[in-house]
Amino acid sequence: MAERNLLLGKGEALTSAKKIKRGSGPKKYPYTLDEVKQSITTSLEQVQRSLAELPRAAKPRGEGVFELTLHPAFLGRSYFPKGILKKSGLRDVGSKETTITPRKVTDENDVGKEQATATIFIAGNESAVGNLQKLLNESSLSATLERELREIESVRWIANKDKIRGVLPDDDKLHSFEVALHAGADEEDVVASFAEFVKSFAGKADLKRRIKVGGLTFIPVYSSSEAMLKIAAHAFLRVARPMPELRIAHPTMARATLSNYTASLPLQPAYSPEQSVAIFDGGLGTSDLSSWATEYYYEDTGETHGNLLMHGNEVTSTFLFGRLTSEDDTLKRPFMNVHHYRVLSPVSGRDPDLFDVLLKIKDALDSGDYKFANLSLGPRMPITDEEVHAWTATLDQICSRHGAVAGAECNTVIGLKWAHRAA
Task: Let me know if residue 199 belongs to a domain.
Answer: yes
Residues 270-289: tens digit of each pLDDT: 999 999 999 999 899 989 99
DSSP 51: H
Task: Report which residue type is found at 169.
Answer: P
Side by side, the strands of the sheet bearing 336-342 are 293-297, 336-342, 272-281, 372-375, 405-407
DSSP 249: -
Domain boundary among the residues 119, 136, 158 is at: 158
Together in a domain, 169 and 154: no
Surface-to-core class of residue 281, CB atoms within 10 Å of its CB (0-12 exposed, 13-18 middle, 19+ buried): buried
Together in a domain, 57 and 83: yes
Cα radius of gyration (the chain): 28
- Of 165, 251, 160, 235, nearest in space to 194 by CA: 235
Task: Let me know if residue 315 belongs to a domain.
Answer: yes
Together in a domain, 299 and 388: yes
Give yes or no for a contact between 48 and 126, defined as CB atoms under 8 angstroms apart: yes
Full residue range of the structural domain in which residue 136 is found:
33-158
pLDDT value at residue 382: 62
Residues of the chain with pLDDT below 50 are 253-255, 258, 410-423
Q: What is the DSSP string of 367-398?
A: TS--SEEEESEEESS---SSS--HHHHHHHHH
Distances in Å between the Cα of 137 and the Cα atoms of 37, 91, 123 are 8, 21, 21
Residues 143-179: tens digit of each pLDDT: 999 999 999 999 999 999 999 998 999 999 999 999 9
pLDDT value at residue 180: 96
pLDDT value at residue 251: 52
Together in a domain, 153 and 214: no
Together in a domain, 79 and 44: yes
The kind and range of the H/E element at 97 are strand 91-100
User: What 3-state class would DSSP assign to 22?
Assistant: coil
* pLDDT, averaged across the chain: 85
Task: Let me know if residue 6 belongs to a domain.
Answer: no
> What's the CATH code of the domain at 313?
3.40.50.200
Domain count, the chain: 3
For the chain, the first-to-last Cα distance in angstroms comes to 35
pTM of the model: 0.81
| Residue 21 β-bridge partners | none
